[in-house]
Chain A
């Protein structure tokens, strides 16, 4: 049973369809004579138009129809694919996206303007509405003198739940009628007695005789959206001018395909009808391949995955209780079952973790369009190189990285790359290169944006930082420190803010987003040779390696990535440090926080307290804990809104015994500690 809202399903499909169209168009800009790409774009537009109409997105269907018509002409070789056409359809495709999102919104003249653009790209005649309509309208009745008219016998039945999924069989029949003269017979033999009838189910199948000058693919196109679930047989029952028409239309049915098609159902209601040669309909080879690919993926709402993750988490906890019981028992059978369950639940958990992973290609693909548009806007010649697109990252990470990456790519193009004349003068190739790459390194993925432009102008960064008061004039800074200044809030090296940069996202927001993902940013920039910004992001947000510690009676997890080392706080060091809170670690002073005080546990310190030295990126701080329990792979659970005000913890996790441990947010913890100390100083 289908529980998804058909319109939501359509929107998802339309989004994919638009993405495919966009990818096809962008490829086409480089290879204007590539017939396959033209076909691919046409197919995409056709699908979008058809399913749009089927789901009631009339405006979308009508608009898409014009683009489809234009591409149909290219496909038939009537007009050549030009970059103007591709640009016009790219622009039109954004409008389609808007029509998918808000079919009822008033877009004023946008659509007309786009169509006018399209018209001039393919020659006024092509996109003139009259002609466009004629292309799909019913061929003139009585044109039977036409030599290439063929007769087809088409039988089809749809699955019983077809209407629940948004398919309207009347629409299909209308489309068939548009192809030519139709005689339609409905086979009503399967209709059950009235009391067994379900009003939403479909019991009727159809037998259609069609006289049409269209070729076989036109018939296939009618059923293109429902092909996967339905039974369809199409046979040619003669042609008015068989000798001339047959070679053009009679596509030999692949024998192999025939064997996989469902056997034709005996037609109880239409005994006079005997299939002469049932030709099973299959999509063309390339489409069939992509269809197979699509079937390998299943769309699952993220929250269901989260639910599954919770269940697996519970299972792991229950399993650890089982192993405790089993290890205390002498029952061999129980112990072996327990070990088996332990292995299985471990595997299940590992599998669960990778379910959320998606290749970064889904993120990178959208940059092709961005770079294409920016190149047009700036007049720069840009080549986009993408590497490591198959690297997999947690879906949430990908979603959150989208905006920062857009900003970084814009920056590279806007500030980094020179205009062609400057590049040639500098002895570089005319085209600037932007390289987007992703690779996995341990538990992190490194995503970098590299350009071969002019590099970051240090003098300008310094001047800007001094003028905005970020640093004192002449303050000595190391090169990395200087470069990090561009992440300061409100910092922009652009002397004039173009419409490319400054769209609400600054480098400070980029840095914040990356830090929220527990990642870090590195910049390398060589004057005259270009810059590279690397984002180091953990592979998944759902799990981290942590160090489990005990403070008083509570247990806490410190992210292992922040931990530098652990050492013992000797009794004498502890006493000596009553008045000052720092220890010396290999001749450098490391301040520390007593978590027992910070958390107000009200317990006495353990005799052998430990110091966990953590690094917040800029400073090293020791955290005094009562006991270090050990490594702990941590499934991160977010805390509710009721605890939003507690910044000290970034989340929580569930331990093997089912109890909850809080995960320390190292940065906030240090800030909170400083605040508390300041208060103590004021008070004391």
Chain B
């Protein structure tokens, strides 16, 4: 997907309001944010069941309130190193639309920070150079107090991983 398309999508994203409410969390020292409306629950670590043969990005499943849901590691989408869980690690359960079906997915995080509001005018489309992550995996970057918060494009991440196993990186 081109950077222009990503920017358009990001415009849609905030087209109705100047602000968006997000949940921020840390992964390998970077701060990410998810739209608060898609967040279902924040969980303490649960027993994981490995799914042999699956993509490393979604290598296991967990029992979320009687449902078996995949557990994804955004680190792998962004080419970061997988890390052991720490005392601050949590799972965030989100609901996203996968091929027209609402799907619950768990995300690993190193630490869940806070629910906050990000302003549209502080956001920037991902730069075309100077970044080691795939640009189409990022909706936008929001500058706040000297650091950047990354709003990942979950649709792109989950669908591209799904369509072409192991692609990316």
Contacts and interface: CB of A to CB of B under 8 A. Distances in A.
A420 B104 CA distance: 59
A661 B60 CA distance: 11
B145 interface: no
Contacts of A293: none
Contacts of A643: 51, 54, 58, 61, 70
Given A640-B103, A641-B103, A662 B53 contact: no
Interface residues of A, number: 32
A260 interface: no
A645 B55 contact: yes
Contacts of B51: 639, 643, 646, 649, 662
B53 A654 contact: no
15 contacts: A310-B66, A599-B50, A599-B53, A639-B68, A640-B68, A643-B61, A643-B70, A646-B54, A648-B52, A649-B51, A658-B47, A659-B49, A660-B68, A661-B49, A672-B53
B156 interface: no
Interface in A552-589: 554
Interface in B74-99: 98-99
B148 interface: no
Contacts of B49: 554, 652, 659-662
B116 interface: no
Contact of A641 (B61, B63, B162): B162
Nearest to A644: B162
Contact of B61 (A599, A601, A639, A648): A639
B33 interface: no
Contacts of A314: 65-66
Given A310-B65, A652-B61, A640 B70 contact: yes
A306 to B, nearest CB: 9
A653 B67 CA distance: 9
Interface string B14-58: 000000000000000000000000000000000101111111001
Contacts of A310: 65-67
A652 B68 contact: yes
B158 interface: yes
Interface of B: 47, 49-55, 58, 61-63, 65-70, 72, 98-99, 101, 103-105, 158, 161-162, 165
Contacts, number: 87
Given A554-B49, A599-B52, A660-B49, A642 B70 contact: yes
A653 B52 CA distance: 16
Given A642-B58, A646-B53, A637 B67 contact: yes
B165 A641 contact: no
A642 B66 contact: no
Nearest to A676: B53
Task: Give me the 6 closest cross-chain CB pairs, A-B, nearest first.
Answer: A599-B52, A310-B66, A660-B49, A652-B68, A314-B66, A637-B68
Nearest to B163: A645
Nearest to A647: B53
Interface string A173-215: 0000000000000000000000000000000000000000000
Contact of B99 (A599, A641, A645, A661): A641
A653 B54 CA distance: 17
A214 to B, nearest CB: 52
A640 B62 CA distance: 11
B142 to A, nearest CB: 27
Contact of B98 (A598, A601, A642, A658): A642
Contact of B54 (A317, A601, A645): A645
A353 to B, nearest CB: 15
Nearest to B57: A642
Contacts of A654: 63, 66, 68
A654 B47 CA distance: 12
Instruction: Report which residue of B50, B65, B98 has the largest number of chain A beta carbons within 10 angstroms of its beta carbon.
Output: B50
A320 B58 CA distance: 29
Nearest to B65: A314
Contacts of A601: 52
Contact of A642 (B47, B52, B65, B72): B72
A608 interface: no
A310 B69 CA distance: 13
A311 B162 CA distance: 29
Contacts of A651: 68
Contact of B165 (A311, A600, A645, A649): A645
A313 interface: yes
A658 B63 contact: yes
Interface string A126-168: 0000000000000000000000000000000000000000000
B39 to A, nearest CB: 17
A81 B69 CA distance: 59
A662 B62 CA distance: 11
Contacts of A658: 47, 63
Nearest to B99: A641
Contacts of A600: 52
Given A640-B105, A672-B53, A659 B58 contact: no
Interface string A657-684: 0111110000000001000000000000
Interface string A615-658: 00000000000000000000001111111111011011110001
A642 B162 contact: yes
Interface string A302-328: 000000001101100100000000000
Contacts of A660: 47, 49, 61-63, 68
A649 B158 CA distance: 20
B115 to A, nearest CB: 26
Contacts of A662: 49, 51, 61
Nearest to B162: A642
Contacts of B70: 639-640, 642-643
Contacts of A311: 66
Contact of A640 (B52, B55, B66, B98): B98
